[in-house]
A and B are shown apart, each in its own frame.
Chain A
């Protein structure tokens, strides 16, 4: 199982300070790429949640939250990292049959992205 880079700074901060972190911490200049999952009418909601849980190691509530964001908003940023890292995630998502793209964090993230939860991760 690959540990998502999205867990990095966020988890560290929450374990050190116990505070709720915002997406700002996740789009810091040193982690400039997003992995985006797009909605499609075929992939099962349960399957998408399963992929988020099994591949990224996300908790069930977090995986479901991201899955619902994909379903309702049409897209969701599910991980952040270097270009190389998010490209690796994208090809893994394509392997699962999810529709994934990568984008520079600065130009994207209009939908607010992920990671607005309570900072507690799987």
Chain B
């Protein structure tokens, strides 16, 4: 069984079983492949250099739309324009955090630097956002319903399995964030 993250002399530490690490790695890989742009970067070296992507559109997949949301509520043209300027670098930023977290999954004993912890918390959050879309979590009642699935012997279909995985990643992220908040405490 995994142990909750905690903050101590060595920094933020945690423990995951090999099967749990494998699970996290495959979840992270899934999100990375979702985030990888369909087309390769712009042919024009200058637009590629500044990260412009004039072909980008609002994602049709709900989970991807949650990872890469519109920047305005009611102005699609402004959101699209912003997306053309920023989406590529946002995707790269997210993929970077996910890859950094995956790299840390090589050992059972986890010792996270402050930067590692930030990448882990971002990566776990993105994994949970995607799982939540797959589980159709739309409001707090849905979330509570999913939360009742805690016993792995209850896993009988894809949905209950996903719910258990979601609850595991939620628990892991919560313990990590608590440790991170603790590590921030003695600040001026």
The CA of A99 and the CA of B72, in the complex, are separated in Å by: 11
Contacts of A36 in B (CB 8 A): 73
Q: How far is the CA of A120 from the CA of B180 in the complex (A)?
A: 24
Q: Known contacts being A46-B181, A102-B71, A103-B72, is A41 close to B170, with CB within 8 Å?
A: no
Choice from B86, B137, B180 contacting A50 with Cβ under 8 Å: B180
Total chain B interface residues with beta-carbon distance under 8 A: 37
Within 8 A of B (CB), among A28-50: 36, 40-44, 46-47, 49-50
Contact (Cβ within 8 A) B143 A42: yes
From A50, A97, A100, give the contact of B126 (CB < 8 A).
Answer: A97
How many A-B contacts are there with CB distance less than 8 Å? 78
Using C-beta atoms within 8 Å of the partner chain, give the interface range for chain A. 20 to 34
Say whether A101 faces chain B, with CB atoms less than 8 Å apart: yes
Q: List, in ascending order, chain B residues with CB within 8 A of A95's CB.
A: 90, 93-94, 97, 122
In angstroms, Cα B89 to Cα A60, docked, is 30
Chain-A contact segment, one of B52-60, B61-69, B101-109, B148-156: B61-69
Are the C-beta atoms of B122 and A97 separated by less than 8 Å? yes
Assess the B73–A41 pair: CB atoms within 8 A: no
Which residues of chain B have a CB within 8 Å of any CB of chain A? 66-73, 82, 86, 89-90, 93-94, 97, 118, 121-122, 125-126, 128-129, 132, 137-140, 142-143, 170, 173-174, 177-178, 180-181, 184
Interchain residue pairs with CB less than 8 A apart (29): A42-B128, A42-B143, A43-B125, A44-B170, A44-B174, A46-B178, A47-B121, A47-B125, A47-B173, A47-B177, A50-B121, A50-B177, A54-B184, A87-B71, A87-B82, A90-B71, A91-B89, A91-B90, A95-B93, A95-B97, A97-B122, A97-B125, A97-B129, A100-B71, A101-B71, A101-B73, A102-B72, A103-B72, A103-B73
